[in-house]
Structure 1
Amino acid sequence: MARSQKQKSVTPTPPSQLDRFDEANSARLGLICVQERIPEDYTRWDIEFLVDDRPSRLTCISPGEYGGVPHGLDGDFATILNVMYLEQGAPESGIVHTTAYQMLQRAGFPDSGQYYQSLQESLDRLKAATYTASESWRDHKRQRWTTVKFNIIERITAETQDGLGFGSGTTLKIQLARPVVESIREKYLKPLDMSFVLSLKRSLTRSLYRVLDAHRYQPSMTAEAAAEFRINLQQWARECKLRETVPARIKRNLESAHKELVERGYLTSVEYEGSRADTVIIYTFGDLPATTPAPEPVIEVVPDAPVTDALRRYGVAPTVARNLVSEFGESLVTQRLEKFEAMLKSGYQARKKSALLVDIIRDQGGKYADPEGYQVEPQRSEANLQAATVAKRMEAEEAQLNHRLQEEFRLLDHSEQAARALTQVRMFVGREVSERTLKTLLSAMTSEQVEPYEVYRAVTRAASELRLADFAHELRYAYGD
């Protein structure tokens, strides 16, 4: 699907000046087929390649009833989800809270039934398609290549106002794949020129741009973006997940995207060397000198609870540690951790410390006697265990997040500030107030009678303080009939 050309004047931003980022594994591997349309039977692709001179493999299997493998606009929505996840602090849960309207707005698509349907179909494909990256997924924290199997979206919770289809009032809670979440939280990211992406007319061009731009950076994510990129043409077709293998057809399929990227200044040329199976495609980039470094990702990630990190130091798997804290609470887990450490100091022999620690935390029947000299401090058995410390930490984190949110919010155009504030209001109290009230509120914000950020913060604060009913009443009183 093409979009309007109103942003055609946007030029590529040099990597050294970019402040948006995308998850690097997904971008580098090119999980989305660049084609705008695919045959109904295109339900699987499987490619082999080398990573650091080691054989690697990437496979995608997707049910035919969802429209085959992810393709076309699916790449736009997958990218926007990663961007929004980062903006929301990259929480450990991997969940993005948004609305269908907000996703269309952020992806640059109009508020129309056609695009709401496209969004719903795209999210279904991203949920249904199963990827296996064999020895090709970068574990950035440990600096090694691993094998992972995942769906880009693990879970979708959608609340629609009318019928089963998505619309402007649809609220979404989308849980991203665990490998993607961990990569983002470990800051394995690549620069993303979001303004330029949104300005590109065709889905094919946007998809090719994302794959091509990712290949400018080495898998180790060195900061320097390449000024030129060479690759065998048939291998490039596989990287783009095209079904074509004939060089002439590959060139023809990519021709319109190449033309747009050259016209827009991202590329200075696209050339070919050799013939038939030995053809090499050569991209020369026009947006930077060869030595321009890309910026370091500066993002704030919502941290794990300190006790979670303590469990991991004893060998408890990260997912297990988080689940234990979520299930039993920081207080009890901290208490059981101290008991475990006291048992070790008293000479208790554990075959596997991590397994013993997990068992102690889960124990509900007094299976493990308190070691000599160990005593639960009275205040630790109360519900307000370490309340002051926890409250202080939460208050500091909240202040930090709110400050960052406000700074980012203020940088938006005023119309986008109003749209985002209205989206937040619609998400929380859309069922309690009329559409006319919401339109009047939007008009007040766009005409600068009301500050959009104050509306945004007011509804968020009302939700956290369980005062949404009062907030809805205030809206009806101020902007209703």
Structure 2
Amino acid sequence: MAERKPRRAAPLVLDVGSGYDELNLGRLALISGQKTVPATLRRWQKSILTPDGRPVVITCSVPEDQVVPHGLDNDFMVGLVNLCFEAGLPDGPFTVSAYGLLKASGFPDTAQYYRSLEESLVRLNKANYTIDEGWFVRGPHTWTTQSFAQVNYLSYARSKTGVRGTSVITVQLAPPIMDSLRAGYIKPLDLNFYRSLSQPLVRAVYRQLDALHFDDSTPDGLVRELSAPLMAWANRLGIFSDRADNVARTLKPANDELLAKKYVSEIELTGRGRDKLVRYVFGPPPVGDHPQLAELLRLRGVKSGVAVRLSTVFPERIEEAARRFDHYVKTATRPVGNPGGLLVAMVQRPEDFADLPGYVPARPKTEAPTAPVTGTKQPVPSAPLTDEIEDMEAREETRVAALSGQALVDWVLRQLTLLGTMRHLSVQERALLTEAVAEGTLDGRAVVREATRAVSGGIPAVRAVAEDVRTHLSGMLP
């Protein structure tokens, strides 16, 4: 078999506003945010939770002559992901110049940073990760176990003094990362803001917060605030300390900078010792680089956070998808149960809607976006798609009705986590809730229905559901 030739060198990225971040990488934080780590640190293992409350164990190990990825390695990985997009998400390796990668990562053209770049690439290539049922695959919507190095293949030329600006670097990102990027499991990342942050830990905290900020399962696609045990938050960021006071001291400069730049409006530390909690309240919601395109999506029922994400990732698809959507609903005979979800599908999978009956694609850039559809009923053009949606909803209802034992418990806990109810319950109350659902003394499905209805009423209504659960559980306390 002939050897696949690397793609052409990726264009230089200098000032691009919104770039991209793969959501698994952003949320799992595979690279320690600390600027430096002990020279003997060759392995770590951490346990974190996915946004839906699933526990995940992540292990990182490196050879004896290496140290685990940390600090600037985050920045070089962000640069590689965005250069990979510029190269067209190639099937095989792609090439960049060392100067191009340095600038794409936001660093000046100096000998110090060229040394850092070479060391970082080697670490990213040598470090092996195992993620136990925590890597999300968008197609089948499943959590998978993956083992890989983030930079799957590495080749570069160096002079006697090391890597120089003209050195050619050839890389290939790990297959699961590439699959995820191609599937659109990505979010916007404000590269100008990212690069404006002063230290690796500040950038790591921002990247982690920003990845968790976007959550399609919430009512508007955005999380408004995050709370976590301080030690668990440190573990997530790769801060290697077992003392809460040291963690709080380490995080303070990063937190202060994010507050000063108004990315977050409030950061609160409560509790004492290892029981400390940290709470972040996000600032104004993101608007992205294409607010008009995001508005086209919002007016048609797409959640705000999803609209920002899609308009940043697929700006060239939005207007045509909106026109197809408007045609779809105007020529229909039955209402669309989830218009926002339909439009999201049209943006993400345009090939599935290429042959709409009676639709004539507009000429590129010659037709203004169609006005949003109004009215209480929105019909669809084809019964097969409606039937498919209704069948899917019916299958889900049947599946949930058949759950029992641990499967039912897992489903209830996952749904209540997504709906924001679990955050208002203590650790002991969560344990009692698990026991009550397992034993059948509490109707978990009914609680999920109440929590779902409460979401539209905001935090007070969600807290009221949590209080009802707490009242029920109080009789189980010793």
Shift of 1:222: 8.7
Shift of 1:117: 0.4
- Contact 2:132 2:145 (8 Å CA) reproduced: yes
> Which amino acid is 1:137 matched to?
W
Shift of 1:64: 4.4
> Which amino acid is 2:314 matched to?
V
Aligned length: 284
> Which amino acid is 2:177 matched to?
V
Q: Deviations 1:296-352 (Å, cap 9, x if unpaired)? A: 121799xxxxxxxxxxxxxxxxxxxxxxxxxxxxxxxxxxxxxxxxxxxxxxxxxxx
The residue matched to 2:231 in structure 1 has which SS? Answer: helix
1:145-184 to structure 2, matched below 5 A, reads: 145-160=143-158, 162-163=159-160, 165-184=162-181
**Map of 1:5 onto structure 2:** none
**Map of 1:65 onto structure 2:** 65
- Contact 1:97 1:174 (8 Å CA) reproduced: yes
Distance change in 2, residues 1:64/1:220 (3 Å): farther
Q: Percent identity over the alignment?
A: 34
Q: Deviations 1:144-201 (Å, cap 9, x if unpaired)? A: 00000000011111123x3261001101110111110111011110121111001112
Q: Deviations 1:355-405 (Å, cap 9, x if unpaired)? A: xxxxxxxxxxxxxxxxxxxxxxxxxxxxxxxxxxxxxxxxxxxxxxxx9xx
Cα distance in structure 1, aligned partners of 2:62 and 2:216? 26
Cα distance in structure 2, aligned partners of 1:219 and 1:62? 35
**Map of 1:295 onto structure 2:** 309
Shift of 1:246: 1.3
1:245-394 to structure 2, matched below 5 A, reads: 245-288=242-285, 292-293=304-305, 294-296=308-310, 297-298=313-314
Cα distance in structure 2, aligned partners of 1:156 and 1:300? 32
> Which amino acid is 1:181 matched to?
M
1:75-114 to structure 2, matched below 5 A, reads: 75-93=74-92, 95-114=93-112
The residue matched to 1:215 in structure 2 has which SS? Answer: helix
Shift of 1:287: 3.1
Cα distance in structure 2, aligned partners of 1:136 and 1:58? 8
Cα distance in structure 2, aligned partners of 1:241 and 1:222? 30
**Map of 1:22 onto structure 2:** 21
> Which amino acid is 2:263 matched to?
Y
Cα distance in structure 1, aligned partners of 2:220 and 2:30? 23
Distance change in 2, residues 1:195/1:223 (3 Å): farther
TM-score by length of 2: 0.56
The residue matched to 1:37 in structure 2 has which SS? Answer: coil
**Map of 1:416 onto structure 2:** none
The residue matched to 2:65 in structure 1 has which SS? Answer: helix
Higher relative contact order (CA 8 A, sep 6+): 1
Specify every segment of 5 or more residues in structure 2 that has no aligned partner in the other structure, as ranges: 1-14, 288-302, 318-363, 365-478
- Contact 2:45 2:59 (8 Å CA) reproduced: yes
- Contact 1:158 1:172 (8 Å CA) reproduced: yes
The residue matched to 2:39 in structure 1 has which SS? Answer: coil
Distance change in 2, residues 1:81/1:299 (3 Å): farther
Cα distance in structure 2, aligned partners of 1:266 and 1:21? 18
**Map of 1:238 onto structure 2:** 235
Shift of 1:19: 4.4
1:208-219 to structure 2, matched below 5 A, reads: 208-218=205-215
- Contact 2:205 2:254 (8 Å CA) reproduced: yes
**Map of 2:55 onto structure 1:** 55
Cα distance in structure 2, aligned partners of 1:216 and 1:55? 19
Distance change in 2, residues 1:28/1:289 (3 Å): closer
The residue matched to 1:25 in structure 2 has which SS? Answer: helix
> Which amino acid is 1:91 matched to?
P
The residue matched to 1:242 in structure 2 has which SS? Answer: coil
- Contact 1:34 1:207 (8 Å CA) reproduced: yes
**Map of 1:414 onto structure 2:** none
Distance change in 2, residues 1:191/1:223 (3 Å): farther
> Which amino acid is 1:104 matched to?
L
The residue matched to 1:36 in structure 2 has which SS? Answer: coil
The residue matched to 2:114 in structure 1 has which SS? Answer: helix
